[in-house]
Amino acid sequence: MRRQKTIENIVTTSGVGLHKGKQINLRLEPLPVDSGIVFFRSDKDVLIEVRPENIVNTQMATVLGSGDVTISTIEHLLSAIYAYGIDNLKICVDDNEIPVMDGSSSAFCILLDEAGITEQEKSKKQMIIKKSIKVQDGDKFVEIIPQKSPEFEFSIKFEHPAIAEQNFEFDFNKKNYIKEISRARTFGFLKDIEKLQSMGLALGGNLNNAVVLDDQRILNVEGLRYPNEFVRHKILDAIGDMAIVGYEIIGKYNSHAGSHHLNHLLTKKVLQDSSNYELVSEQVAQDYELAAQKV
């Protein structure tokens, strides 16, 4: 029987927030079994649980909130936490954003390695998807499909020579995540960033924490970390957004041109009907995967 997990040691780091450009301190603390993932605004003394109903904005990033207290850009950190199989964790920040670090989740993976992962005295539950569920907006869609092993597939299409059409299919596990997904950075177009900065947003965005493109080319001197880094980052985001359901998911996530908003609608649609899924112990889920491998 596999058990729930938290971190062994308290760890801290700091970095710039993407939208306000302020220096933000981040602290991760272990929590007891069945606590889930919770955020704490230390400057406001407000605790916010990670649940779909606490997502208050998905326009520029995934934003968690309670009343007038919010925490933005949570998806990269949640993506790493999900990949490491952590069930119970307190995330403390002293402002309204998670530090963007280098625009990927690799710094958070390093932080979790530093913290160490420990098993707890209670079994872990996973969510087995029982029905296909889809959310669509024109030709854009996100869906979750019954499948006996976790998988993510994403496709994008941009009228830009450096991106064009990209597709990536990814068998989900921690090792593959670290190698294939964690280093993929967020990206944006120079004209959009300039417009956002004129509105007081994306003030922390620069070539050190994002892949930036003009009308024809990538502006980062070092180039890309993966040939298809753009679509891989979309999977990184999707993993963080889907982590908000509160369980590891056994099924296939598939999307074309999906967004934080569509991912949020998908998590709500999955949870609104208990016949969409079954919550089982991890051992049952492992048996489910093994049966699939024998077919």
Residue 217 pLDDT > 70: yes
C-alpha to C-alpha distance for 93 and 71, rounded to whole angstroms: 8
Q: What is the mean pLDDT of the chain?
A: 94
- What's the pLDDT tens digit per position in 174-184? 999 999 999 99
> Which residues are documented as binding site for Zn(2+)?
76, 233, 237
CB burial of 237-274 (b: ≥16 within 10 Å; e: otherwise) equals: bbbbbbbbbbbbbbbbbbbbbbbbbbbbbbbebbbeee
- This prediction's pTM: 0.94
Q: What percent of the chain has pLDDT over 70?
A: 95
Which two tokens mark 63? 């934003």
- What's the pLDDT tens digit per position in 226-238? 999 999 999 999 9
- What's the pLDDT tens digit per position in 177-206? 999 999 999 999 999 988 888 888 788 999
C-alpha to C-alpha distance for 39 and 49, rounded to whole angstroms: 6
> Which residues are documented as binding site?
76, 233, 237
What pLDDT, on a 0 to 100 scale, did the predictor assign at position 46? Answer: 98
Segment 29-54 mean pLDDT: 98
Residue 294 pLDDT > 90: no
- What's the pLDDT tens digit per position in 140-154? 999 999 999 999 999
What pLDDT, on a 0 to 100 scale, did the predictor assign at position 290? Answer: 57
Catalytic residue from among 19, 260, 261, 264:
260
Domain annotation for the chain: domains and CATH numbers:
3-124 (3.30.230.20), 126-294 (3.30.1700.10)
**Known catalytic membership, residue 264:** no
What pLDDT, on a 0 to 100 scale, did the predictor assign at position 295? Answer: 45
Which residues have a Cβ under 8 Å from the Cβ of 243 and sit 6 or more positions away? 37, 50, 78, 79, 81, 82
Question: Running DSSP on this structure, what letter comes out for residue 99?
Answer: B
Cα dihedral 246/249/254/256 (nearest 10): 10
Query: Residue 39 in contact with residue 71, Cβ under 8 Å?
Result: yes
What pLDDT, on a 0 to 100 scale, did the predictor assign at position 293? Answer: 54
- List phi, psi (to 5°) of 101: 55, -125
C-alpha to C-alpha distance for 78 and 237, rounded to whole angstroms: 9
Q: How many whole angstroms from its chain centre is CA 237?
A: 4
Segment 257-277 mean pLDDT: 98
Residue 288 pLDDT > 60: no
What pLDDT, on a 0 to 100 scale, did the predictor assign at position 196? Answer: 83
Which residues have a Cβ under 8 Å from the Cβ of 240 and sit 6 or more positions away? 62, 74, 75, 76, 77, 78, 79, 82, 105
